[in-house]
Amino acid sequence: DAKTTQPNSMESNEEEPVHLPCNHSTISGTDYIHWYRQLPSQGPEYVIHGLTSNVNNRMASLAIAEDRKSSTLILHRATLRDAAVYYCTRPRGSTLGRLYFGRGTQLTVWP
């Protein structure tokens, strides 16, 4: 089953780190893990992606477990603008572009 599992919601205080977990236990060896986030009244936006090793960019870090069955999106210092729904996605089947999005994790950031 090409699904991912994420907590429905998480909370953080501003300026604190946030670790958003995702389980993808049935992922294949060649499936990339992508994270997107959706701000209110907007379409999802790309955050980061990776295959096996940890990845960093200006928005976040992605830590991928050695067995690739889970990953964690890390926001190093949460801001109020980071409040969004975060989706961990993986390919659904072998057709290009068919991603499983799930319901994601609603992140609330408190001032």
Would you tell me which residues interact with other proteins (CB under 8 A)?
A: 30-32, 34, 36, 41-46, 49, 51, 87, 91-92, 96-99, 101-104
Of 61 and 92, the one with the shorter C-beta distance to other proteins is 92
Of 101 and 108, the one with the shorter C-beta distance to other proteins is 101
Of 15 and 98, the one with the shorter C-beta distance to other proteins is 98
Q: How far is the CB of 29 from other proteins (least distance, A)?
A: 10
Give 69-106 as a 3 state SS string. CEEEEEECCCCHHHCEEEEEEEECCCCCCCEECCCCEE
User: CA-to-CA distance for 62 and 40, rounded, in angstroms?
Assistant: 23
Question: CB neighbours of 44 closer than 8 A, spacing ≥ 6?
Answer: 36, 37, 38, 87, 101
